[in-house]
Amino acid sequence: MGNTLYDALFAPLSGASRGLIRLADGRNITAGAFHDMLARAANALLSLGVGPGDRVAVQIAKTPEALAVYAGAVAAGAVFLPLNTAYAPEEIGYFLGDARPAVFLCDPADEAALAPLAEAAGARILTLDASGGGSFAALMAEASVDLAPVPRRTGDLAAILYTSGTTGRSKGAMLSHGNLLSNAEVLTELWRFTPQDVLLHALPVFHTHGLFVATNVVLAAGAQMIFLPGFDPEAMLRLMPQATTLMGVPTFYTRLLGDPRFTRDLVAHMRLFISGSAPLLEETHRDFETRTGQRILERYGMTETNMSTSNPYKGERRAGTVGLPLPGVELRIMAEGAEVAPGAVGVIEVRGPNVFKGYWQMPEKTREELREDGWFITGDLATRDAGGYVRIVGRAKDLVITGGFNVYPKELELLLDEAPGVLESAVIGLPHPDFGEAVFAVLARRPGAQPDTATVLAGLAGRVARFKQPKAAVVVDDLPRNTMGKVQKNLLRDRYKDWFRA
């Protein structure tokens, strides 16, 4: 018995002299050298007593070593659990307590603050920094490059990625070896990736988009990537002539379009620009095509499903849509228990080998959202035209996606409601030219009070990640409600829709 994901994506790297990772400083890591790195990571984890199915949680900077930890966890038969580097200790404490990882890796600068949380969760804490140093790096340096991958089948867990719901309680989406591999193989073929491709990789690797879409597709295709620590327009403009493809979020494209150096000549050799993780404004589509002569390919996915739809590589890429269901993925749009007619709004449901196995330790939530026959209820509202193209029109659960990151209003509302002078709050997403959506707070004042919005928002610092913090807020006398007493967020979104366009 083999190890499904390791055998397909990582085993072919062993001993290979071809390039795999190019760094911004000009260094190159061959496929074979990266395999040695992941083998050391796997053996280091095994030396710590990590066994099949144990969770390995990380909150570390994006580096080749961080990527090797992911690959090493797969080879060791563990379940990889990446955490956003912006999360505050209070948030990390919840994830560790829920997942109960055997090992937790963090930056050395955060070790003192996070060590008590790791200890409470029963996790051994080690460190890995942005330069590839730290206590886990030292353990890797001592480990062997000889690797005997731990057997894992297609249905075994490979990763847990935390998402959330309107209750504010985060949910761990369980992704199997088969979920990740099937999506990588389908996207590689659909987007025509080959060994000749070089992906400009500026996405984070604690997230489905950067880790499982971008990285796994490169590995499945035998391609290369230019591996940037994060979104750096200067570096991207400098290195783009070496690349053939780019995967990004809308912010990437709006920022690039804002630079006069981003020209048709600069991208003439690029064959594909892909956008996802947040809605791309039709205006951005048009501006991009006018500037470059190319059309961005927009696609749609979720933590629970990886990618489910994509505009075609060959064929019409329709601005404002997320394209067609991927090969092997079924998609339907439902309302009141029945599939809606073309053009009507309903909730997207998907079924296929990409769909997750359920939520970690949440059987009831799993039953609510993942039907016994395999259909997953996404909660995203959409229409589908006669040609099959899907257009996202809203989110039933009021999820806000800002700069590619998910923000769940209830989590923020619970904190904002504690602020002096605030009776209650409503957090919504508003159109933003740079982030796709921006987090916005509507604060209902207590009688006689006049909360200061700057003070209220400043009170969130250190309690939640910066990307979750509202970019602006207003104070109102009361929130609009329907006859059942539910806050009508649709009215608030309409009232303030031009706030960031002024």
Superfamily covering domain 4-18+26-153: ANL, N-terminal domain (3.40.50.12780)
For the chain, state the CA radius of gyration: 22
pLDDT above 70 for 483: no
State which amino acid sits at residue 422: V
Q: Which residue from 437, 378, 413, 397 is spatially nearest to 173, judged by alpha carbons?
A: 378
d(CA 152, CA 3): 4
The two most distant CA atoms of the chain are separated, in Å, by 72
Q: What is the DSSP string of 36-80?
A: HHHHHHHHHHHHTT--TT-EEEEE---SHHHHHHHHHHHHTT-EE
DSSP state of 468: G
CA distances to 96, 155, 170, 290 from 57, in Å: 8, 20, 15, 44
Going from N- to C-terminal start, the domains of the chain cover: 4-18+26-153, 200-395, 400-495
- Copy the structure tokens of residue 240: 């783009």
DSSP 26: S
Residue 407's DSSP bridge partners are 400
Least confident range of 264-268, 288-292, 389-393? 389-393
The chain-wide mean pLDDT, for the chain, equals: 93
The candidate with the shortest Cα–Cα distance to 209, out of 120, 100, 298, is: 298
Cα 295 from Cα 316, distance rounded (Å):
9
Residue written as token pair 């390919």: 297
Q: What is the pLDDT of residue 164?
A: 54
On whether the CB atoms of residues 357 and 159 are closer than 8 A, the answer is: no
Percent of the chain whose pLDDT exceeds 90:
83
Predicted confidence (pLDDT) at residue 150 exceeds the cutoff of 90: yes
CA-based angle 87:69:278, to the nearest 5?
45
Average pLDDT over residues 254-262: 93
Select the CATH number that applies to the domain covering 200-395 from these four: 3.30.70.270, 1.20.1070.10, 3.40.50.12780, 3.40.50.720. Answer: 3.40.50.12780
Question: What band does 485 get if pLDDT is binned at 50, 70 and 90?
Answer: low
Domain 400-495: which CATH number of 3.40.50.300, 3.30.565.10, 3.30.300.30, 3.30.470.20: 3.30.300.30
- Residue 378: what are its φ and ψ, rounded to 5°? -75, -30
Query: Measured between alpha carbons, how far is 375 from 294 in angstroms, rounded to an integer?
Result: 35
pLDDT for residue 114: 98
- Per the CB < 8 A criterion, the answer to whether 315 and 324 are in contact is no
Mean pLDDT over 139-159 rounds to 98
Per-position DSSP letters for 331-400, written without gaps between them:
EEEEETTEEPPTT--EEEEEESTTS--EETT-HHHHHHHB-TTS-EEEEEEEEE-TT--EEEEEETT--E
Q: Please name the residues in contact with 320: beta carbons below 8 A apart, sequence gap of 6 or more.
A: 282, 285, 391
Is 50 exceeded by the pLDDT of residue 244? yes
Q: Are strands 103-106 and 124-127 parallel, antiparallel or unpaired?
A: parallel
Q: Matching CATH topology for 4-18+26-153 and 200-395?
A: yes
- Lowest-pLDDT range of 274-283, 371-380, 460-469: 274-283
* Cβ neighbours around 411 below 10 Å, total: 21
Give the pLDDT band of residue 168 (cuts 50, 70, 90): low
Give residue 278's pLDDT.
75
* Torsion region of 280: left, alpha or beta (phi above 0 gives left; psi -120 to 50 gives alpha): beta
**At 348, which amino acid appears?**
I
Q: What's the rounded mean pLDDT across residues 282-293?
A: 92
Q: How crowded is residue 107: how many other Cβ atoms within 10 Å of its Cβ?
A: 16
Find the mean pLDDT for residues 332-336. Answer: 93
Query: Which residues neighbour 23 within 8 Å (Cβ) at sequence distance 6 or greater?
Result: 29, 64, 226, 227
Mean pLDDT of 347-368: 96
Binned at pLDDT 50, 70 and 90, residue 484 comes out as very low
3-class DSSP state of 422: strand
Whether the per-residue pLDDT at 397 is higher than 80: the answer is: no
Least confident interval from 164-173, 352-361, 406-415: 164-173
Confidence of residue 53 (pLDDT cuts 50, 70, 90): very high
Residue 79 structure tokens? 């379940």
Residue 227 has pLDDT above 90, yes or no: yes
The DSSP 8-state label assigned to residue 104 in this structure reads E
Pick the range with the lowest mean pLDDT from 15-19, 56-60, 132-136, 378-382. Answer: 378-382
Mean per-residue pLDDT for 190-218? 96
Alpha helices (runs of H) in 127-221, residue ranges in sequence order: 135-142, 177-190, 216-221
Polymer length in residues for the chain? 502
The angle subtended at Cα 204 by Cα 40 and Cα 92, nearest 5°, is: 80
Q: Is 184 helix (H, G, I), strand (E, B) or coil?
A: helix
Tens-digit pLDDT profile for residues 28-47 = 999 999 999 999 999 999 99
How many CB atoms lie under 10 A from the CB of residue 168? 14
> Helices in 77-223 by DSSP H: which ranges?
89-99, 111-120, 135-142, 177-190, 216-221
Whether 166 shows a pLDDT value over 80: the answer reads: no
Query: Alpha-carbon distance 382 to 332, whole Å?
Result: 10
- Average pLDDT for residues 114-130, to the nearest whole number? 97
Query: What is the average per-residue pLDDT within 289-309?
Result: 96
Confidence at residue 490, expressed as pLDDT on a 0 to 100 scale: 85
